């Protein structure tokens, strides 16, 4: 089993700043997002991680995650993996939660209500389960660069929780999280850590 899974949410984009659902649209990082990625790289090169020399590195192929990976200094070691793409929001792509609420005529919550013409939460969870199964088969640390909703579901599934549990796992742009073990059981070692951005 993997000793640790380190998760990195991509840096800030214009759409993440404004709360627009950014699934498959390739939105670039803002200057703020690029700086955050560089600071994360500095942090991971220091103790206790020391550059994670033996870690297996994977990234979503979408530019905001791929660029975060590169600016953090792991681009030459990373392999693109479609399983790490963000949730496909379908008809809700590019819309904010209040805009979707107006369209649906109700207090819309993605974790409860899902999306139209996009990916179901169950399908997203199946992708997260694929990543979890792969990571648990590794015998070294794993470093993943991906997206907010996908990583939140991955955290929930690591813990053996229903995918909707991800609603309770806030994850900010540029944040570092670590999935590990406690008493032989999957555990959150660190979550939504943005210390390198302060």
Confidence of residue 1 (pLDDT cuts 50, 70, 90): low
The total number of structural domains that make up the chain: 1
The tens digit of pLDDT for each residue in 46-59 reads 999 999 999 999 99
**Given this model, what pLDDT does residue 50 score?**
96
Q: Are 140 and 3 in contact (CB under 8 A)?
A: yes
Backbone angles phi, psi at 144, to 5 degrees: -120, 135
- Tell me, yes or no, if 56 is annotated catalytic: no
Q: What CA–CA distance (Å, rounded) separates 189 from 5?
A: 10
Q: What CA–CA distance (Å, rounded) separates 127 from 193?
A: 24
Domain hosting residue 76, numbered range: 5-197
- Tell me, yes or no, if 149 is annotated catalytic: no
Cβ-based neighbour number of residue 160 at 10 Å: 10
> In this structure, what CATH number is given to the domain that contains residue 70?
3.40.50.1240
Confidence of residue 198 (pLDDT cuts 50, 70, 90): confident
Percent of the chain whose pLDDT exceeds 70: 99
Cβ neighbors of 173 (< 8 A, separation 6 or more) are 9, 10, 11, 12, 13, 16, 33, 36, 148
Q: Is the pLDDT assigned to residue 2 strictly greater than 80? A: no
The one catalytic residue in 56, 70, 86, 93 is 86
Q: What is the average pLDDT across 126-138?
A: 96
């Amino acid at each position: 089993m993997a000793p640790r899974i380190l998760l990195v949410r991509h840096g800030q984009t214009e759409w993440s700043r404004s709360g627009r659902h950014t699934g498959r649209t390739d939105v670039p990082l803002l200057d703020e997002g690029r700086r955050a990625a560089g600071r994360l790289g500095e942090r991971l090169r220091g103790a206790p991680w020391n550059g994670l020399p033996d870690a297996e590195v994977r990234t979503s192929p979408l530019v905001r995650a791929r660029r975060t990976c590169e600016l953090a200094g792991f681009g030459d070691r990373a392999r693109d993996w479609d399983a790490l793409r963000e949730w496909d929001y379908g008809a809700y792509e590019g819309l904010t939660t209040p805009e979707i609420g107006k369209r649906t005529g109700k207090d819309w919550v993605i974790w409860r209500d899902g999306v139209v013409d996009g990916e179901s939460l169950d399908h997203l969870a199946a992708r997260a389960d694929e990543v979890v199964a792969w990571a648990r088969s590794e015998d070294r640390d794993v470093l993943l660069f991906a997206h907010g909703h996908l990583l939140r579901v991955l955290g929930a599934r690591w813990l053996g929780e229903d995918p909707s549990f991800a609603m309770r796992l806030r994850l900010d742009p540029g944040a570092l999280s670590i999935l590990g073990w406690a008493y032989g059981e999957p555990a959150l070692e660190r979550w939504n850590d943005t210390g390198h951005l302060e």
